[in-house]
Structure 1
C-alpha cells in the first residue's frame, strides 16, 4: 500500500535497507530482526506482526525480507 506508515526502502549498494516510519528514518536494517528492533524503539512492540501487513508496511524495490546489496 502506497500510504503505509512504515517503509522499507530498496537495498543499498553495500547492503541493508533504510527503514522509515511516517517519514522519519529509523535506521539501516540488515535483517528482519533489525526492522523489528527499530519498530520496537519507535513504540511499536508488535513489529514482527506488522512486517507482512501491507496496510502498515511497504517494501520498496526488491523482494520483502531480502537485504543483500543491490
Structure 2
C-alpha cells in the first residue's frame, strides 16, 4: 500500500469509512475491522496495537478508541 490510509470520523451508526488514496476499503465498526480491511488491501502484518501508532494511518475525528456516533 503506497498511499496513507485515512479513517474518517464515525458516522451515525458508529461506522468509520476507511480509504487509501482514491480506493474505498470499506467501513469499520471496530479496531479489528480496520485490521481486516488493511489486510484485505495488502497491508499484512499490522495488528490492533500498531494501528494506533503507525504513521501509515491518519485518524480523523478521533483515534482508534472512538467508535460512537457523534452527539447531536
Question: One fold, TM greater than 0.5?
Answer: yes
Q: Which has the larger radius of gyration?
A: 2
Q: Stretches of 4+ moved more than 6 A in 1?
A: none
More strand, by proportion:
1
Name 1:68's counterpart in structure 2.
Answer: 68
TM-score computed with the length of structure 2 as normaliser: 0.78
**Superposition map of 1:13-32 within 5 A:** 13-32=12-31
2:46 and 2:15 map into 1 onto residues whose CA distance is: 18
RMSD between aligned residues: 1.7
Normalising by structure 1, what TM-score? 0.80
Aligned length: 66
Q: Which runs of 5+ in 2 are unaligned?
A: none
Unaligned runs of 5+ in 1: none
